[in-house]
Amino acid sequence: MRAHILTITLNPTVDFSTATANVVPELKLRCAEPQIDPGGGGINVARAIRLLGGQAVALIAIGGSTGAQLLQRLAHEGVATVAFQGPGETRQSISVIDEGTQAQYRFVMPGPQWHEDDVRRGLNSIDQATGDDTLVVLSGSQPPGVAKDFPSILADHVGDRGARLIVDTSGPALRHLVEKPHASLHLLRMDDAEAEDLAGRSLPSVEDTDAFCRDLISRGVARSIIVARGADGSVLSTSEGSWHSVGAPVEVRSKVGAGDSFVGAYTLGLAEDRDPGECLRFAVAAASNAVMTDATRLCDRETTDRLMRDCTLRKL
């Protein structure tokens, strides 16, 4: 199966979301009936795209009974998948809301250890699913054992097939992409803390963030860079120009899924041939929509379109 939008999740999860009266040590904490959702960066990007009216194929490494449960839940949601055998058992994660304080506690498991054969199997599956002009999205954490240069290796595979690669990653993999630029990377997204860490200085203003992004572009890190600045919106920098968009004022219920909704909407905007500024505003609106929802719920097209009217956009 070849896809126009292909999302990649090497370290998927089944997410359990619940609540308890108070989170305290040592005692047994009686929890509410959990909400169970498919999880992992690329999976949530594909789910968001479907909820926004688009279609994406989620390529997933799965293992064991948890992996089978994950595929069943995605099929129930109508998300197309391409699965390949990963090592071990697909992981599970849990988030718990303390009803007394409304604080959310998120417990994230590492996932199974990968080896070279697992990486080769994954790349072969990606090659088979990628065609000319496919938008390939790599999002989420890398599994233990996957080298930090995996996004660069993936960029070679994607570039050889005339596809465009969008990467939303963190940690050593992000630093490697910045320190050893790759010409085939179409878009790189990060948050403001990651940007400041890479810059080695604070980036207090939108203009500071744009200057940092433009420096990365001039060094050939990616054709476009997005930095999420939290409540101060997001900055998009390209060789053609830069934009800043701030989300609509909404009540924040949960930040889970906001970044994935952003990436999903931006990617769908590219697939719909929107101009860069409108892709950014669409993405910011989807993220605003996501934070209004409980637990691991994402966004929807009707609410996102409505919120777009209240999202600011200016060219820098």
253 pLDDT higher than 90:
no
Residue 295 pLDDT class (50, 70, 90 cuts): low
In the predicted model, is pLDDT for residue 294 greater than 80? no
Position 250 scores a pLDDT of 85
Binned at pLDDT 50, 70 and 90, residue 182 comes out as: confident
Model pLDDT, residue 3:
56
Q: Which residues are catalytic?
A: 260
pLDDT in tens, 81-103: 999 999 999 999 999 999 999 88
Task: State the pLDDT at residue 296.
Answer: 67
Average per-residue pLDDT in the chain?
93
Tell me the mean pLDDT in the region 29-43. Answer: 94
Higher pLDDT pick, 194 / 159: 194
Q: List, in order of start, the domains of the chain with CATH numbers.
A: 3-315 (3.40.1190.20)
- In this prediction, residues 160-166 reach a mean pLDDT of 92
Please determine, for residue 1, whether its predicted confidence score (pLDDT) is greater than 60: no
Of 163 and 1, more confident: 163
DSSP string, the chain: --EEEEEEESS-EEEEEEEES---SSS---BPPPEEEEESHHHHHHHHHHHTT---EEEEEE-HHHHHHHHHHHHHHT-EEEEEE-SSPPEEEEEEEETTT--EEEE----PPP-HHHHHHHHHHHHHHEEEEEEEEEESPPPTT--TTHHHHHHHHHHHTT-EEEEE--HHHHHHHHHS--TTEEEEEEEHHHHHHHHTS---SHHHHHHHHHHHHHTTS-SEEEEE-GGG-EEEEESS-EEEEE------S--TTHHHHHHHHHHHHHHTT--HHHHHHHHHHHHHHHHTSSTT----HHHHHHHHTT-EEEE-
The pLDDT of residue 131 is 87
Mean pLDDT computed over 166-195: 92
Task: Supply the pLDDT for residue 270.
Answer: 95
Return the minimum-mean-pLDDT range out of 6-15, 31-40, 230-239, 253-262.
253-262
pTM: 0.93
Query: Residue range 198-207: average pLDDT?
Result: 97
Across 129-140, average pLDDT: 92
pLDDT-based confidence at residue 113 (cuts at 50, 70, 90):
very high
Percent of the chain with pLDDT over 70: 98
Assess whether pLDDT exceeds 90 at residue 160. no
What pLDDT shows up at residue 184? 77
In the predicted model, is pLDDT for residue 117 greater than 80? yes
